[in-house]
Amino acid sequence: MRVIRRFVALFVLIILAAAPAWSMQDSESIVAHAKGNGLLKYGDEEFKVTSVVIKLYKDGKAEINLISELIIFVSGTWSRDSNSSKIILKITGGATGSGVEASGELTLRGESRSGKSRSVDRVFLAGQSKTTQRKVTLNFQAAE
């Protein structure tokens, strides 16, 4: 079962890693990904996060995939911080919309030029579960 989960995670990561090339058609949307080290805390449980894939749509919607022992999908909104290069994230739910409310920051590396994709530098989120009221935090740092 564990082998199947890892295979599915790897397959999804490969497909999503190819997404930056597809997103170049829409210069205002951003697709970014990175491998690195992170920790997702959900109450007393902890999950090591090894990769993230983030899609920021030009209409302000955001989709975030966290690759761990599980693949975790959350959605929300994003906006630019006018005083820095950071992107402000607000998470409004998971795949069902009843999951987590959180907010945080995303920092990107690289330029969004034709033929080049962006990569995630750092992601930080903090909030809580809508149903269980457990605290939720994500702290991810991309590898060099």
Q: Which two tokens stand for residue 124?
A: 């930080």
Beta strand ranges found along 1-144 (DSSP E) = 30-42, 45-56, 61-67, 71-80, 87-94, 100-109, 118-129, 135-142
* Count of other CB atoms within 10 angstroms of residue 110: 12
pLDDT digit string (tens) for 89-118?
999 865 555 578 999 999 998 765 544 568
Q: Which two tokens stand for residue 103?
A: 């907010």
Q: Which two tokens stand for residue 68?
A: 């761990």
Higher pLDDT, 84 or 22: 84
Q: What is the CATH number of domain 2-142?
A: 2.40.160
Pairing relationship of beta strands 30-42 and 135-142 according to DSSP bridges: antiparallel
Domain ranges of the chain: 2-142
What pLDDT does 97 receive? 55
